[in-house]
Chains A and B, each alone.
Chain A
Amino acid sequence: MAELKLMKGNEAIAEAAIRCGCDGYFGYPITPQSEVMETLMARKPWEETGMVVLQAESEVAAINMVYGGAGCGKKVMTSSSSPGVSLKQEGITYIAGAELPCLVVNVVRGGPGLGTIQPAQSDYFQATKGGGHGDYRLIVLAPASVQEMYDFVDLGFELAFKYRNPVQIQSDGVIGQMMEKVTVGEFKPRLTDEEVVKRYGSWATTGKTANRDRNIITSLDLDAYRQEQFNLKLQRKYKEIEEKEVRFEKIACEDADYLLVAYGSSSRICQKAIEIAREKGIKVGLLRPITLFPYPTKAIQAMLGQVKGILAVEMSAGQMVEDVRLAVEGKVKVQHYGRMGGVIPTPNEIVKALEEQIING
């Protein structure tokens, strides 16, 4: 039954996992995402749906539990914040290399190193360009509201299984800690063992039967030519994802002379900046990437005849701005404005940056 609730973003992740029929969550606590596991432990889904919730001994253990569960065709996930997600990178590249579906949630905090516990967006490179080794990609979803935190769990699993690829929800301390109104969906039952065999028996280790070959989960092939063929197959998959799965939102773009590009919590702050700027008579719009990979390159290119300049706003030293520049190919001015280390930009700062760096710059 659909209901209206007031929830933190982190709580929404947990509730969505239970309701979308997730089989297992494996994690290790870290601020600002600890409420994900706290909520799951309090909700005791193992009594309700049979979902496993396990506090692993470390982030490395948690991602390898995810690897194992995913290999069995189960809907499994983990969550952490920046330093913890760095620890998971080995597991993530193995999962990508073994072509397994899973969901990873990063509630990003300021870095580098242990950094701070405050919100940041400085893990964009890690999420979109491959934080681990090898030519792999994650599908990266960037929620900008608590409702999207909820919705993207189910969507994330759907995409993960559709492409047999890890999906990452790239959130941050603002969206994780904030409470908003959420419409929670109906319970989807977990798949039975028979259903898993039927749907995923062609690749998952569901137990070999007489009528099929062994399914082997590995990311290792010592034959370079076969490994190249496998890489080409992966690249075809990423190409297909780029063609079919781009998601973005445009706000106040119809008459815009200038464009802000921002995702997640920065996009929310930009919306306020747009209100302030438009009161001053500056016609500015916002393009909000919802998928960070695949990136909405064509959507930005479609604005090029219209806008005189683009300001990329992120809580980093300038990471996503590189993808904006790649899309724009020098045709209009692109600048970056950001704060770092857990400092959140204010709407007025963004308006000032737009005026100084783009309009008068």
Chain B
Amino acid sequence: MTEEIIIAGFGGQGVLSMGKILAYSGIMQGQEVAWMPSYGPEMRGGTANVTVIISDSRISSPILQEFDTAIILNQQSMDKFEKMVKPGGTLIYDPNGITRHPERKDIKICKIEAAEEAARLKSAKTFNMIVLGAFLKVKPIVKLENVIKGLEKSLPSRHHHLIPMNQEAIQKGMDIVKL
């Protein structure tokens, strides 16, 4: 199994940390992982994206031109990455702030209203975990218990009291994602 994922949105949405938690989750279940962020001038424009690869075998290129799954959280990322999903692949997006919805017919499209749900929960910081929950529902490549272990690993211990809240947000995302 090799899953090649792009997560893309605005800086501050937790795109990079979501990718990191996913990568740590892969490590927790003994898989190979790679996490490759955009770090150049494109980030200064306000968009952030990260490639995450989880695989049972040695990972080749961390630089990819097509992905099994794209998790898209703003319009610029939709414009850039919708076309880079492999035929038969998956696109997960939050419709909040999206003016042009995905048009492709040869991929699976899932909607996750994470921004709206995070606002309802009055917890903007859980946004990325709701999105992660949606991904895990659609692509259960890592076990939830390993995601929790991944959270423990990637959060400093002073933030460990927040893990139950994050776990609830992941669960929420799994419940509300529209397949």
**Is the pair A118, B40 in contact by a Cβ cutoff of 8 Å?**
yes
Q: Which residues of B contact A179 (CB under 8 A)?
A: 20, 23, 33-36
CB-based contact A268/B61 at 8 Å: yes
Of the candidate stretches A94-102, A156-164, A235-243, A344-352, the one touching chain B is A344-352
The yes or no answer to B37 lying at the interface (CB within 8 A) is yes
Size category of the A interface is 20 to 34
- Bound together, the chains give a CA A173 to CA B61 distance in angstroms of 14
Q: Are A116 and B40 in contact (CB under 8 A)?
A: yes
Contact of B60 (CB < 8 Å), options: A32, A268, A342, A346: A268
Cα of A32 to Cα of B35 in the assembled complex, Å: 16
The interface residues of chain A lying within 8 Å CB-to-CB of B163 are none
Q: How far is the CA of A31 from the CA of B40 in the complex (A)?
A: 9
**Residues of chain A within 8 A of B24, CB atoms compared:** 6
Q: Note all chain B residues with C-beta closer than 8 A to A269.
A: 60-61, 63
A289 smallest CB distance to B (angstroms): 17
B-chain residues with CB within 8 Å of residue A268 when the two chains form the complex: 59-63
The residue in chain A whose Cβ has the minimal distance to the Cβ of B19 is A179
In the complex the two chains form, is A32's CB within 8 Å of B23's CB?
A: no
Task: Judge whether B32 is part of the interface by a CB distance below 8 angstroms.
Answer: yes
Q: Contacts A268-B61, A269-B61, A346-B65 given: A6-B39 contact, CB under 8 Å? A: no
What's the count of A-B pairs with C-beta under 8 Å? 72
Knowing A117-B39, A181-B32, the reply to whether A346 touches B23 (Cβ < 8 A) is no
A6 touches B62 (CB 8 A): no
Chain B residues with CB under 8 Å of A275's CB are 60
A96, B33: Cα distance in complex, Å: 38
Confirm or deny: A272 has a beta carbon within 8 angstroms of a beta carbon on chain B: yes
* Chain A CB within 8 A of B86 CB: no
Chain B, interface SS category: mixed
User: Is A177 in contact with chain B by the CB < 8 A criterion?
Assistant: yes
Closest B-chain residue to A274, C-beta based? Answer: B60
User: Counting CB contacts under 8 A, is B136 at the interface?
Assistant: no
Q: How many residues of B contact A (CB 8 A)?
A: 22
- Nearest chain B CB to A172 CB, angstrom units: 11
Interface string of A167-193 (1 = CB under 8 A from B): 000000110011111000000000000
A322 to B59, CA, bound (A): 29
- B132 CB to nearest A CB, Å: 16
Does A205 make an interface contact (CB < 8 A)?
Answer: no
A220: chain B residues within 8 A (beta carbon): none
Q: How far is the CB of A313 from chain B (nearest CB, A)?
A: 12
Give the nearest-CB partner of B62 in chain A. Answer: A178
Contact of B36 among A177, A181, A272, A347 (CB under 8 A): A177
B45 at the interface (CB under 8 A from A): no
Cβ of B140 under 8 Å from chain A: no
User: Does A1 reach chain B (CB closer than 8 Å)?
Assistant: no
Whether A344 contacts B37 in the complex (CB less than 8 A), given A6-B23, A6-B27, comes out as no
- Which A residues are CB-close (under 8 A) to B34? 178-180
Complex-state Cα separation, A272 to B37, whole angstroms? 19
Within 8 A of A (CB), among B104-143: none
Q: How far is the CA of A31 from the CA of B39 in the complex (A)?
A: 9
A181 with B27: CB separation less than 8 A: yes
Q: Hey, which chain B residues are within 8 Å of A178, CB to CB?
A: 34-37, 62
CA gap between A317 and B65 in the complex, in Å: 22
How far, in whole Å, are A273 and B36 apart by their CA atoms in the complex?
18
Q: How far is the CA of A117 from the CA of B41 in the complex (A)?
A: 8
Q: Is the CB of A272 within 8 A of B39?
A: no
Query: Which A residues lie within 8 Å of B155 (CB)?
Result: none
Selected A-B contacts with CB under 8 Å, 7 pairs: A6-B23, A173-B39, A178-B62, A180-B35, A268-B60, A271-B60, A346-B65
The residues of B with any CB-CB pair to A shorter than 8 Å are: 20, 23-24, 27, 32-37, 39-41, 59-65, 153-154
19 more contacts with CB within 8 A, not counting A6-B154, A179-B23, A265-B62, are: A6-B20, A6-B33, A31-B39, A174-B63, A178-B34, A178-B37, A179-B20, A180-B34, A268-B59, A268-B60, A269-B63, A271-B61, A272-B60, A272-B61, A273-B61, A275-B60, A347-B60, A347-B63, A347-B64
> Which 6 pairs from chain A and chain B are nearest by CB?
A271-B60, A272-B61, A179-B35, A272-B60, A346-B65, A269-B61
